Amino acid sequence: MENKTIDELVARFDEVTEPINEWKISDAISQEGYRYDDSNELSVNAEILAFNFVENITEQDVSSKYYYGPIYSIRTDSGVNSFPRHEQVSIDIFEYWIKRATEAKHPLLKARYSDLVCDFSKTITGKNADIKHYQNVIDNTIHIARNNLHTAEVIVFVKFKRAFNLALTINDANRIKTLAQELVEYETKVAEDDSPGLWGHSYELLIENNKVRKHILEEQEYQIIKDLEEALYRVSDLSAQKTHINATDRAATKLAKYYKNVGKYEDVRRVLLKLGDVYKSVNKDARPLQISARLNILYDKYKQFGLEHEATEVLRDINDIGPKIKEGLSEISHEFQISDLEMRNWVSSIVEHNFDNTVARLIHEFIPSQEFVRKTIAEKVKQYPLQYHVTGKVLDSRGRYLATISPISKSLDDHICNEMSKMIYYLSVFLRPCIHAFKTKFMINEKNLLAYMLKSPIFNASCGSILMKGLIALFADEHIAASHILVPQIESAFRKLIEIEGGDILKPTRGGGFNYISLDNILSDPISENIYGNDITSYLRVLYTDNRGLNIRNNLAHGLMNDDSINYVISDRIFHTLLLLSIIRYN
């Protein structure tokens, strides 16, 4: 076989007339490149990087100074493994891209090389790229759209957004106007009602962006809104064979934003009620979980745009559907085995010390550290990636939504709370026998435990009778009585700790008086953090006050726990917290 160069391989794409994409070029390099005997290693590396970098990376990482980023990033024990990496772009590769931006013929190639030059110029040379590269990206984006040169229409809209940003950077009013016209025409050409990703971009890029909006004509703005209204009419038609709920949501939300901004509040209400009608229609045959999810979305929409009466009605529907969700859920269990000998040995390792050391071990062993929780999540992301990249919901005992667990890319903290909650339940299997062994070895009963607790100044001696009744219930496994009596005393003890340390425990009310700060405020106070550290205070918030966690304090206070949810897991954690509070001493 005749040897060819990488330049010849890439040049093939300069001659094609059918739509292509960057991935096709990247695949050709990776799959066929091994056959090419190329003495110039620079061009090989430059082309591999050029077509493996992913555009629009700032949508995923707002802190990135680059528009292009790695095609993948994997966290390992030694750090983050990414490809391609920004550091791989040398001055030679950068200059190669400058040369290719001039030599290439196909608009997609010319736009890609010039855009890479614009993106990396500041890092490589310390200054912005030559203005001709900005113009090159903009003009060739127009050619790509006008001549249907890209296989994925949705990516063309991404390129339009980039072109607008570059045109604004160089303050090119004429190109902004041309882009606006081409965008509207392209959207009209490719839009499909049941593909929301193919329409609505003219509104987003031309009207929502005030820097661009001042460059478009009134008749263009009128036409964009008219097109959205017509789309809403079509996709929300309840007499049609299929109702497009996502498309209706997209059109109605954009129109509501527009009408709110221009002060047309009746139109805001009109388009959102149209959305509400579609939700009601599709909910007729839906499962309770689907209905609840949609009602929550609709409630948020109504609240966002000030439809208070309608939001209240939806809230009633959410409340009514909750119990039906619970009935439709299936229990998922996980089994593991540990021999009696292994359990006895492990328990012995906790209680084999003297009293003070055993208390310390009991406290420490059953509080998951932030580092351990993060490592556990990292391992689970590798094993079950899908569940960490979708939105989850936390339900109460009646089936109503309490909290949202966002995708891990948006909120690692959500998953830390969720994972820690699971660990608390998992560790309950080990905590109970350890507490039993602790009581047995040191002959702990209600009286001597209370005496030990009252040695700490944060427990109020005047509440000794209340504490005793709570301890009696706790030792008798009367979980309901114990939790209702002792959790308020735990909150009081934490508050006393803040007071002793000179912190503020009161906050003004609107009526002119003062209220005591809540347990969540107490646990978030820097004083608590300084005394207990972040691991313990984070654990306590998950246990008592975070609605993404067990939230024991708030659920008890508001009557949200039923007979089944107040069990030995709760009682043992209360016992554990009492020990944690009891070790506070002052000289």
The string of pLDDT tens digits covering residues 304-333 is 999 999 999 998 988 888 777 766 655 555
* pLDDT less than 70: residues of the chain: 1-4, 32-40, 57-63, 75-78, 241, 326-336, 397-398, 587
pLDDT at 304: 94
- φ/ψ (deg, to 5) at 508: -70, 150
The residue type of 326 is: K
- Neighbour count for residue 76 (Cβ, 10 Å): 9
C-alpha 38: how far from chain center = 45
Beta bridge partners of 506: 516
In the structure encoding, which two tokens stand for residue 153, read together?
């229409």
- Neighbour count for residue 317 (Cβ, 10 Å): 17
CA atoms within 13 A on the CB side of 311: 12
Distance CA 492, CA 518 (A): 10
pLDDT at 50: 93
pLDDT at 318: 85
pLDDT at 35: 52
Can you give the pTM of this predicted structure?
0.68
Ranges of each domain in the chain: 340-582
83, 125, 119: which is closest to 101 by C-alpha? 119
- 321 near 291, Cβ under 8 Å? yes
pLDDT (tens digit, 9 = 90+) per residue, 149-207? 999 999 999 999 999 999 999 999 999 999 999 999 999 999 998 888 899 999 999 99
Alpha-carbon distances, residue 344 vs 350, 367, 554, 576 (angstroms) = 10, 20, 36, 20
pLDDT at 33: 54
91, 96, 90, 89: which is closest to 114 by C-alpha? 96
pLDDT at 164: 97
Distance CA 506, CA 397 (A): 32
Beta bridge partners of 150: 20
176, 153, 154, 149: which is closest to 163 by C-alpha? 176
> Positive or negative CA dihedral for 516, 520, 523, 526?
negative
> Positive or negative CA dihedral for 514, 520, 523, 524?
negative
pLDDT at 404: 83
